[in-house]
Amino acid sequence: MVAAYYSVLFLLSIVFLVVYVFMWHKHFDITLTMIFTFISISCLGYVMYSHSETIGESILSNKIIYLGASFLQYFIMLSILNMCEIKLSKCVKDLLFICCMVLYGSVLSIGHTTIFYKSISFSIVDGNPELTREYGFMHTVFLAMIVLFFIISFVAIIYSFFKKKQIPRSIIYLLFLPYVFSILSYFVGRTLVKKLDIIPVAYIFAEVIYLLISYRLCLYDIDDTVVDSLVQNGETGFIAFDLKQRYIGSNETAKKILPVLGELYVDERINNEKASNILGWLSSFTKNVYEHEFIHELHSESDPASDRIYIANVSYLYDGVKKRGYMVTLTDDTQNRKYIQLLDHYNEDLQNEVDEKTRHIVEMHDNLIMSLAAMVESRDNSTGGHIKRTSIGVRILIDEIQKSGKMHLSDEFCRNIIKAAPMHDLGKIAVDDAVLRKPGRFTPEEFEKMKHHSAEGARVIHEILLKTDDESFKLIAENVAHYHHERWDGSGYPDGLTGENIPIEARIMAIADVYDALVSKRVYKDSMSFEKANDIITSGMGSQFDPSLEPYYKSARPRLEAYYNSIDH
C-alpha cells in the first residue's frame, strides 16, 4: 500500500517532468527546470524509503528525500521572484544557496553525527519501514530556512498583486497555490496523516501548477514569441554571424533571398567572392552602427513582375548582455517601395502642374506690373522707352557684378532687382498731368511736385504686392522706387539718405536711371555723347553714386554703349 502510493507519485513526477521537457523553451528560467528535477529526485527518495529493509537503506533514502527538500524551496522562491520581476542581488542568492548546501551537508552527516538527527532507529511495522528519529539543531535551522523562503515568496506575491500591474494576475494566483499547499502539507499533513507523507502529493500538485505557468509564460514573453512568429511565418529572413564575420546559420527564407547562403559552410568566414553584398553590410555597420539599413534587390529575368526589394537590417547578436556576433534580418519591402515610387511620380506630376500654374500666375503678375509701368510712362511724353532701357541697364550692371564675385549678391537678389527695375517710376501715376507732360524744364515748384513720385511709387508698389508671398521681392521693389533718386552725399530725395544707408538696389538703379537720362533724347534736350555721359557718371562717383560700384560700371560701359547704339535713343 505505502510502496504503491509512493511509486504512483514518482511515476507522475516523471510524466510531468517529460511533459515539461517537451514544453521547454529557451526563454524558460533555469529555476523551473530545477524544480521539476528536484521533485522527481525527492519522489524517488520516497519510493526507495518505502522499499528499505535496513536502517542503512532507510537513511540513504532520507538523504535523497532531503536533497529535494533542501533545495526545492530555494528554487521555488527564485522562480517566484523572477516571475514577479523582483531582483535579488547575486550576493544574497549566493548566500542563501550556501546555506542550503550547509544544511544538506548536515543531512549527509546523518548516522555519523547528531547535528541533524540526535538519535535514529529503524523497524518494520505491518510490512512497512518505520524510521524513528529525534531531531537535532540543524533540523530546526532547516525548518527556519523553509519558513524564511516561504515568507520571502509570500511577500513577493502579495507585493506584485498590489503594485505590479504588468505581472499577469493568473500567474500570481497560480504561484500562490502550490506554495501554500506545500507548507500546509509539511506542517499540518504530518500531524493529520501518520502512516503516509503527503508532501509528495504537494510536489505533484506543484508540478501541475508549474506546467500551467510554463504554458502561460510562452504567451507572456512577448520578445521571444514575436521572434518565433517571425521565424515560423516564413516572411522574414534571418542570418547570423559571429564577431569575426563567420557564418553561423540562417533560416530557409534567408536562403531563398540570398542563395549564396546555401553554399556557405557553418563557421566559414564570408568573403567578396561568395557574399560581397553581405560583407559590405557588415563592414559598414562595424564602422558606423547608425548605418544599419541596406537595400537588396532580387531580380527575375523571366518574370520582371516578380522582382522583389528587401531591406537588410544589421544589428548585434546578443547572448544576454554580451555581444556575440551580428544578426541580419531581411524583410520584403516591395509593396512599400512601389507605393513610394507611385507617390513620387504623383508628386512629381503634381509639382510640375503647380509649377506651371505658378509660372502662369507670375507671368500674369509681371505683365500686369509692366502694363501699369507702360501706362504710367505713356503719360510722360519726355521718357518714352525709359523703363525698358533702364531695365536692360540694370541687367548689364548686375551681370558685371556677378562676374566679379566680389559683392556676394545672392542669385535671388539679382533676379529680384532686375524684375523690380521697370517699377522704379510707378509713382509718377500720382503726378499731375500738367507737370508730368510739361515739354520743358520744371520750375522749382513743379520739381518739388515731381519729387513726390519716389515715395508715392513705394506706396503704390506696397499696395500692389501686399498679398504676395515673396517678401524679399516686395522689399526690393519698394526700395528701388523709393530711393533711386537718393545721392551718396545725402543731397538726394525724398529722405536725404547718405552712403550705405541707401539700399544697394537703389544705388544700382540710380546709375542705370541717370545714364539713360544722359544718353537719351528728351523733348527738352538732345542725347549726350557716351564720352560726356561717362565723364558725368565717373565724376559723380563718391558724391552722387556709390563709389564701390565704379569698377562694375566701367566694365559694363562697353555693353551699355553697344546696347544704346543698337536702339533709337
DSSP state letters, 249-315: EE-HHHHHH-GGGGGPPTTPBP-HHHHHHHHHHHHHHHH-TT--EEEEEE--SS-GGG-EEEEEEEE
The answer to whether residues 256 and 152 belong to one domain is no
Report pLDDT for 191: 55
| In contact, 136 and 181? CB cutoff 8 Å | no
Ordered DSSP codes for 36-90: HHHHHHHHHHHHHHHT--SHHHHHHHHHHHHHHHHHHHHHHHHHHHHHTT----H
CATH number at residue 244: 3.30.450.20
Report pLDDT for 172: 73
CATH number at residue 456: 1.10.3210.10
In sequence order, the β-bridge partners of residue 6 are: none
Report pLDDT for 553: 94
Report pLDDT for 220: 46
Whether 169 is covered by a domain: the verdict is: yes
3-state secondary structure of 347: helix
The span from the CA of 79 to the CA of 156, in Å, is 11
Amino acid at residue number 335? Q
Q: How far is CA 521 from CA 274, 313, 383, 515, 526, in A?
A: 83, 76, 8, 12, 5
- Residue 4 CB partners (closer than 8 Å, separation 6+): none
* Closest by CA position to 224, among listed 494, 65, 25: 25
Report pLDDT for 30: 84
The span from the CA of 239 to the CA of 245, in Å, is 11
The span from the CA of 429 to the CA of 185, in Å, is 110
The answer to whether residues 433 and 470 belong to one domain is yes
Report pLDDT for 229: 54
The answer to whether residues 32 and 149 belong to one domain is yes
| In contact, 496 and 508? CB cutoff 8 Å | no
The secondary structure of residue 186, as a DSSP letter, is I
- Please state, as a whole number, how many other Cβ atoms lie within 10 Å of the Cβ of residue 77: 23
| pLDDT digit string (tens) for the chain, length 569 residues | 788 888 999 999 999 999 888 877 666 778 888 988 998 999 999 899 888 889 988 999 989 988 888 888 888 888 888 878 888 888 998 999 999 999 999 999 998 899 998 888 888 887 788 888 888 999 899 889 988 888 888 888 888 888 877 676 677 777 777 767 766 766 665 555 556 777 888 888 888 888 887 776 654 444 454 555 555 555 788 888 988 888 888 888 888 888 888 888 878 888 877 788 898 999 899 999 888 899 888 876 666 666 888 899 999 988 767 888 899 989 888 888 777 767 767 767 777 777 777 677 666 666 666 666 666 665 555 555 788 889 899 999 999 999 988 888 899 999 999 988 888 888 887 777 666 666 667 778 877 888 888 898 899 888 888 877 788 988 999 999 999 999 999 999 999 999 999 999 999 999 999 999 899 877 667 789 999 999 999 999 999 999 999 999 999 999 999 999 988 66
The answer to whether residues 357 and 415 belong to one domain is yes
* Closest by CA position to 252, among listed 266, 262, 240, 241: 262
| In contact, 282 and 314? CB cutoff 8 Å | yes
The answer to whether residues 367 and 512 belong to one domain is yes
Structural domains counted in the chain: 3
Report pLDDT for 122: 84
The answer to whether residues 268 and 408 belong to one domain is no
Whether 343 is covered by a domain: the verdict is: no
The secondary structure of residue 188, as a DSSP letter, is I
The span from the CA of 436 to the CA of 523, in Å, is 12
The answer to whether residues 22 and 162 belong to one domain is yes
Domain of residue 9: give its range: 2-220
The answer to whether residues 403 and 502 belong to one domain is yes
Alpha-carbon 75 to chain mean position: 41
| In contact, 122 and 131? CB cutoff 8 Å | yes
Whether 108 is covered by a domain: the verdict is: yes
The answer to whether residues 170 and 249 belong to one domain is no
Whether 345 is covered by a domain: the verdict is: no
Sign of CA dihedral 60, 64, 67, 70: negative
Report pLDDT for 222: 42
| Cell numbers for 222 | 512577448
Whether 226 is covered by a domain: the verdict is: no
CATH number at residue 61: 1.20.1070
**End-of-domain residue from the set 220, 255, 286:** 220
Instruction: Look up cell 515610387; give the residue.
Output: 341
| In contact, 482 and 494? CB cutoff 8 Å | yes
* Closest by CA position to 398, among listed 382, 387, 412: 412
Whether 340 is covered by a domain: the verdict is: no
- Residue 163 CB partners (closer than 8 Å, separation 6+): none
Instruction: Look up cell 527564485; give the residue.
Output: 78
Report pLDDT for 373: 65
Whether 11 is covered by a domain: the verdict is: yes
Q: How far is CA 293 from CA 231, 243, 290, in A?
A: 20, 19, 8
The span from the CA of 522 to the CA of 536, in Å, is 18
- Residue 59 CB partners (closer than 8 Å, separation 6+): 110, 111, 120, 131
The answer to whether residues 108 and 253 belong to one domain is no
Whether 376 is covered by a domain: the verdict is: yes
The span from the CA of 138 to the CA of 146, in Å, is 12
The answer to whether residues 207 and 241 belong to one domain is no
Instruction: Look up cell 536725404; give the residue.
Output: 496
Against a cut of 0.75, is the pTM above it? Answer: no
Q: How far is CA 287 from CA 247, 280, 544, in A?
A: 19, 11, 63
**End-of-domain residue from the set 279, 299, 332:** 332
The answer to whether residues 513 and 386 belong to one domain is yes
Length of the chain: 569
234 HSE (CA, 13 A, CB side):
2
**End-of-domain residue from the set 194, 220, 246:** 220
The span from the CA of 55 to the CA of 132, in Å, is 10
